[in-house]
Amino acid sequence: MLSTQSATVVRATLPAVGASLGAITELFYRRLFEERPELLRGLFNRANQANGAQREALAGAVAAFATALLERPDERPDALLGRIANKHASLGITADQYTLVGRHLLGAVEELLGDAVTPAVAAAWDEVYWLMAHALIAIEARLYAEACVENGDVWHDMEIVERVEESPDTASFVLSRRDALPTEPFLPGQYVSVQVELPDGARQIRQYSLSTAPGHKTWRITVKRERSADGRVPEGEVSSWLHAHGRPGRILKVSLPFGDLVLPDGEGPLLLASAGIGVTPMLSMLDHLTATAPDRPVVVVHADRSPAQHAHRLELSEHVSRLRHASLHLWYENDADAPGESGTRAAHVHEGQAAVSGLTLPTNTTAFLCGPLPFMQAVRSDLLAHGLAPAAIHYEVFGPDLWLSK
């Protein structure tokens, strides 16, 4: 909880700091990477730096945390902190790195706001930073302890033992431990970080959801290749590298699994709604349900460009057909009536944008969403209108979460 003295100062300066957070986080990263260029090449996602997404996520998170401290001082914003801490844990972030980040973040505030940053203002924002930092450090320490690792030691070598082309732009990679021991346990919906060394020598890290159930001897990730749109933006660095070089026998550095979008045990009804490559965490959940809870009521909704571009189309329908009370609703922008589509078992196939408003969903449904933000926002609005509680709607963003802090 923020001290009374600092709360007064933070309340008075939040509008000014909040209005400058975009500039503050931009300067923060510039100063951080001037001092430690290896962090940009080896830890941070340089596409998220170039397109501004990570600056926006950091600014949003700091503003949301400061606002929560003032408006709900007795509550910890666990959803916000948990999402960040899981991402940090999958990167092996350590407690000592918070001192460096804090120095540059608070330094950027002082540099940009100048004389407005009196010693009292600096002290109050230092307190906000360290409250957030200590909360994150504590959750990360718990995550590391649960994973039985010390000090962010989350990386290990895994070998690609199989590659499967799932659609023209999507390939699955089956991963096995090199020491032939069983893979570590995880919860359906979680992801791993994968690091690759690019031709310019930079090491870049990306996250990929595990797309089969836990408990197998191997893990599987499914990667969509990010193509360059009209040559205006570069093609995705890591997904292109994996598509070009990810063959059986290749060793990858992969983190232990983390992530806060996880399937709860129980018997309550579920909605799994995905679009495009957002199907991956849903596949893991469905695979798990077929083995552990085949009677659980599940409605599966998936949207894609066309049946041909829909990765794991048959696998999705096979999982659904193994569940006794499940239905599958597919929406395609094009070719919904392509020959063979009617053969997708148990599926209701539609053309156009996905809509869940016409589905029969019990109001105690727990919903899991994964896909582009506009898709998830539309589905969430429909679900709220349908009577689902906001707390029953969970989602994963395949990038910095710019939704959580809005």
Ligand X SMILES: Cc1cc2nc3c(=O)[nH]c(=O)nc-3n(C[C@H](O)[C@H](O)[C@H](O)COP(=O)(O)OP(=O)(O)OC[C@H]3O[C@@H](n4cnc5c(N)ncnc54)[C@H](O)[C@@H]3O)c2cc1C
Which residues are marked as active site?
98, 140
When binding is defined by CB under 6 A, the residue of 207, 274, 317, 405 that contacts ligand X is 207
When binding is defined by CB under 6 A, the residue of 54, 239, 290, 405 that contacts ligand X is 239
**Sign of the dihedral through C-alpha 370, 376, 382, 388:** positive
Minimum CB separation of residue 395 from ligand HEM in Å reads 12
When binding is defined by CB under 6 A, the residue of 7, 44, 318, 355 that contacts ligand HEM is 44
Check residue 83 for interaction with ligand HEM (CB under 6 A). yes
Check residue 50 for interaction with ligand X (CB under 6 A). yes
When binding is defined by CB under 6 A, the residue of 9, 24, 27, 62 that contacts ligand HEM is 62
Q: How far separated are the first and last CA of the chain, in Å rounded? A: 22
Q: Which residues pair with 156 in a beta bridge?
A: 254
Check residue 57 for interaction with ligand HEM (CB under 6 A). yes
Q: Which of 384, 378, 242 is nearest to 301 (CA)?
A: 378
- Report d(CA 59, CA 23) in Å as an integer: 9
Check residue 309 for interaction with ligand X (CB under 6 A). no
Q: Which of 207, 375, 220 is nearest to 312 (CA)?
A: 220
- Tell me whether residue 101 or residue 402 sits nearer to ligand X (CB atom): 402
Q: Which does 280 bind (CB under 5 to 8 A by kind): ligand X, ligand HEM, none?
A: ligand X
Q: Which does 125 bind (CB under 5 to 8 A by kind): ligand X, ligand HEM, none?
A: none
- Report d(CA 400, CA 57) in Å as an integer: 6
Q: Which of 187, 194, 193 is nearest to 213 (CA)?
A: 187
Minimum CB separation of residue 125 from ligand X in Å reads 28
Residue pair 184/255 in contact (Cβ under 8 Å)? The answer is: no
Check residue 319 for interaction with ligand HEM (CB under 6 A). no
Q: Which does 329 bind (CB under 5 to 8 A by kind): ligand X, ligand HEM, none?
A: none
Residue pair 366/338 in contact (Cβ under 8 Å)? The answer is: no
Residue pair 155/254 in contact (Cβ under 8 Å)? The answer is: yes
When binding is defined by CB under 6 A, the residue of 13, 20, 25, 54 that contacts ligand HEM is 54
- Tell me whether residue 91 or residue 320 sits nearer to ligand HEM (CB atom): 91
Query: For the sheet containing 366-370, what is the strand order?
Result: 347-351, 326-332, 298-304, 270-275, 366-370, 393-396
Check residue 226 for interaction with ligand X (CB under 6 A). yes
**Sign of the dihedral through C-alpha 71, 75, 79, 81:** positive
Residue pair 285/368 in contact (Cβ under 8 Å)? The answer is: yes
Residue pair 133/98 in contact (Cβ under 8 Å)? The answer is: yes
Residues 113-152 within binding reach of ligand HEM (CB under 6 A): 129, 132-133, 136
When binding is defined by CB under 6 A, the residue of 6, 45, 317, 365 that contacts ligand HEM is 45
Q: How far is CA 260 from the centre of its chain?
A: 9
Q: Which does 370 bind (CB under 5 to 8 A by kind): ligand X, ligand HEM, none?
A: none
The position carrying tokens 């400058």 is: 20
Helix (H, G, I), strand (E, B) or coil at 149: coil
Residue pair 172/164 in contact (Cβ under 8 Å)? The answer is: yes
Task: Give the range of 75-83, 107-115, 231-239, 350-358 binding ligand X by CB under 6 A.
Answer: 231-239
Per-residue interface string for the shown chain with ligand X, residues 161-200, x marking contact by CB under 6 A: ------------------------------x---------
Check residue 69 for interaction with ligand HEM (CB under 6 A). no
Helix (H, G, I), strand (E, B) or coil at 113: helix
Tokens standing for residue 90: 């999958």
Residues that bind ligand HEM (CB under 6 A): 39, 43-45, 48, 54, 57-58, 61-62, 83-84, 87-88, 91, 93, 97-98, 101, 129, 132-133, 136, 400-401
Residues that bind ligand X (CB under 6 A): 45, 47, 50-51, 191, 206-209, 222-224, 226, 233-234, 236-240, 259, 277, 280, 396, 398-399
